[in-house]
Structure 1
Amino acid sequence: MNEAIAQVTDKLSGWWTGFLEMLPNLGVALLVIGLFWGLSRLVKNLMDKVLHRSPVHDTAVPIVSRTLSFIVLAVGLVIALGILQLQEAATSLLAGAGIIGLALGLAFQDIAANYFAGFMLSFRRPIVVGDLVETNGVFGTVSEIELRSTYILTPQGQRVMIPNRKIFNEVLTNFSTNGERRVDVAVGVSYGDDLEKAEKVAIAAVEGLDGRMQDKPVQLFYEGFGGSSIDFQLRFWVKFHKNTDFLAARSHAIKAIKRAFDENEITIPFPIRTLDFGIEGGATLAEMLPRSSESREASGNGARHH
């Protein structure tokens, strides 16, 4: 009994002695943790202020600042464990965190990719709310940008959600970046019309349109011989802020060209189709019609006799 009590007493005494020896290091470790905790708070507050003034999306600001704050605090914890000579514990802690992080990364790979793409879109800002864009087969106005998804309002009034990783990885066309857009109008004139005259009349008709950018000339290029017309494309530029600017300019140009061509007796031909009635040897259609009727009557009589 006395021997057992002595062993317990020796054990407790050893622990107490070890604790007293470790006490200075423990104090230093706690001081380090306190300093790094304060530093992490300082980093968070500083990053909140800096990021709010930057083009980073508001949704991304708290996540970025908290992540940096956590990293600073984790560094302080590792240093404190090293002061306490608990390197093995620190190594195990880092290894466990790495394994957990890898498992979570595999489980939430798509979600993580969307958030990462959201971060990149926030920093690079290729689009902002109100831009007219086309991406992933969707055309419309950007109505909302979140950290995980972007919402586009189509001209038909549909609100389409697109994951940010698809926007980041696929082709993205932003029609609002330059504030201007070219309008292309395809027209055809009759083979019997004077092409030089048609060109001058078409260009003059469009040059007088309201909203056309005066610093960029109207251009016209003949493109080929069509089935019933000689085709050309007329191009001019307009200020572009919304899709209706482009649609209205194209509509006004079509009406102006049609009006000018009518006034100058220039023909925009209808499609021409050649019909083959099986007429041979120079016979006219009028001569062939009675023969065709007689053939049908003979066929009908033959069928009745049978």
Structure 2
Amino acid sequence: MDLKINDAWSKMLNRLTSWLDSLIVNLPNIILASVVFIIVLILSKYVTKLTWKLLKKSSLQKSMKNVIAKLLSVLVILTGLFFVLGILDLSKTLNTILAGAGVAGLAVGLALQGALANTFSGIVLSYIKHIKFGDWIESNDFSGEVIDIDLRAVTIKQPDNNLVYIPNKLVLENPIKNYSTTSQSRVILSCGVDYSSNLEFVRDLVIKTIESSFENVGTDKEIIFLYTEFGDSSINFETRFWITSTSSLEVLKAKTQAMIAIKKAFDANDINIPFPIRTLDLPKDFRKNI
């Protein structure tokens, strides 16, 4: 028993001595590797600041600038790590790390497909010039002002001041209506008048009312007035005109203003906007059966 203990103790001392000798021999490499790694960390911070300065005047979104700066910083650190492993003569360890990183990356990629899709979609959206901070957009049945674009979702503020977070993937894959890409928007208003109305007079009155209710309307682009159908209770028409606007909220306000003005004009000229009427045809002997 004592011999086994002595033998084990002797082997342990030999191993410790071997490690100590290796440490002493490789001490210059360890010191050099530590200095290189510290320099790499400092360099990565400098690269991040330099990237922010270079991208400050670019048209990229803030989130995209942050992503680029972080990616360059990580790239610098990984490059420095490879140098450190080379200085320490750990090429076999480097190969093992790369193989393990490949397997781990595959597993993580399969587990986070949705998150990675949103991340890459966020990067693409940051490059698209048709959607940026402050734009009024409509996407996935939500409309509002774009206040943020990150690697997960596009954040829009609705007219009721509520925030909606739409995953980047859905925004990229579905149609986007951007009211801010043009300086003008068209207002479309539908209504109906009584069958006894003078249709030419109604047309001229509506056009005159819209021209007097909005500035610059009808100067650059014509006000369109069209009768669309003979309805059940009215002759229906549609009028279209342009306003200076970059949001759907302004379009709704203009539509409300036009409705109020047209209703006042119709009331002043005894023009009736009929509501649906149902006529019941009863047999002559109806009351006898009661």
TM-score (norm 1): 0.71
Name the structure 2 match of 1:221.
Answer: 226
Tell me how far 1:234 sits from its aligned partner: 0.1
Question: Which 10-residue stretch deviates more, 166-175 or 89-98?
Answer: 89-98
8 Å Cα contact 2:61-2:132 kept in structure 1? no
Identity of aligned residues (%): 37
Tell me how far 1:59 sits from its aligned partner: 4.1
- Residues 76/129 of structure 1: CA separation in 2 closer, same or farther (3 Å cut): closer
Which runs of no fewer than 5 residues in structure 1 stay unpaired? 279-287, 297-306
Q: Kindly provide the CA deviation profile for residues 210-241 of structure 1, in whole angstroms up to 9, marking residues without a partner as x.
A: 34543122111222221122211100111214
8 Å Cα contact 2:181-2:246 kept in structure 1? no
Question: Which 10-residue stretch deviates more, 250-259 or 29-38?
Answer: 29-38
- Residues 26/251 of structure 1: CA separation in 2 closer, same or farther (3 Å cut): closer
Decide which of 56, 60, 65 is 2:60's aligned counterpart. 56
Decide which of 240, 257, 260 is 1:252's aligned counterpart. 257
| Alpha-carbon distance in structure 1 between the residues aligned to 2:264 and 2:79 | 76
Which residue type is aligned with residue 294 of structure 1? K
- Residues 56/31 of structure 1: CA separation in 2 closer, same or farther (3 Å cut): same
Which residue type is aligned with residue 293 of structure 1? R
Decide which of 197, 201, 204 is 2:208's aligned counterpart. 204
Tell me how far 1:207 sits from its aligned partner: 1.2
Is 1:233 aligned to 2:261, yes or no? Answer: no
- Residues 121/75 of structure 1: CA separation in 2 closer, same or farther (3 Å cut): same
Name the structure 2 match of 1:46.
Answer: 50
| Alpha-carbon distance in structure 1 between the residues aligned to 2:66 and 2:233 | 64
Decide which of 257, 269, 275 is 1:270's aligned counterpart. 275
Q: Kindly provide the CA deviation profile for residues 114-138 of structure 1, in whole angstroms up to 9, marking residues without a partner as x.
A: 2322222223254344432221222
| Alpha-carbon distance in structure 2 between the residues aligned to 1:156 and 1:66 | 35
Decide which of 91, 95, 99 is 2:95's aligned counterpart. 91
| Alpha-carbon distance in structure 1 between the residues aligned to 2:188 and 2:216 | 13
TM-score (norm 2): 0.75
Is 1:112 aligned to 2:116, yes or no? Answer: yes
Count of aligned residue pairs for this structure pair: 275
Decide which of 172, 187, 190 is 2:191's aligned counterpart. 187
Is 1:147 aligned to 2:151, yes or no? Answer: yes
Tell me how far 1:23 sits from its aligned partner: 11
* Structure label with greater radius of gyration: 1
Which residue type is aligned with residue 70 of structure 1? V
| Alpha-carbon distance in structure 2 between the residues aligned to 1:255 and 1:66 | 54
Name the structure 2 match of 1:172.
Answer: 176
Tell me how far 1:83 sits from its aligned partner: 7.9
| Alpha-carbon distance in structure 1 between the residues aligned to 2:109 and 2:287 | 82
Tell me how far 1:88 sits from its aligned partner: 4.3
| Alpha-carbon distance in structure 2 between the residues aligned to 1:174 and 1:243 | 9
Question: Which 10-residue stretch deviates more, 76-85 or 101-110?
Answer: 76-85
| Paired residues for 1:124-143 under 5 Å | 124-143=128-147
**For the aligned residues, what is the CA RMSD?**
3.7
| Alpha-carbon distance in structure 1 between the residues aligned to 2:201 and 2:66 | 65
- Residues 295/137 of structure 1: CA separation in 2 closer, same or farther (3 Å cut): same
Name the structure 2 match of 1:68.
Answer: 72
- Residues 295/96 of structure 1: CA separation in 2 closer, same or farther (3 Å cut): closer
- Residues 261/100 of structure 1: CA separation in 2 closer, same or farther (3 Å cut): same
Which residue type is aligned with residue 131 of structure 1? D
Q: Secondary structure at the match of 2:187?
A: strand
Tell me how far 1:260 sits from its aligned partner: 3.0
Question: Which 10-residue stretch deviates more, 178-187 or 69-78?
Answer: 69-78
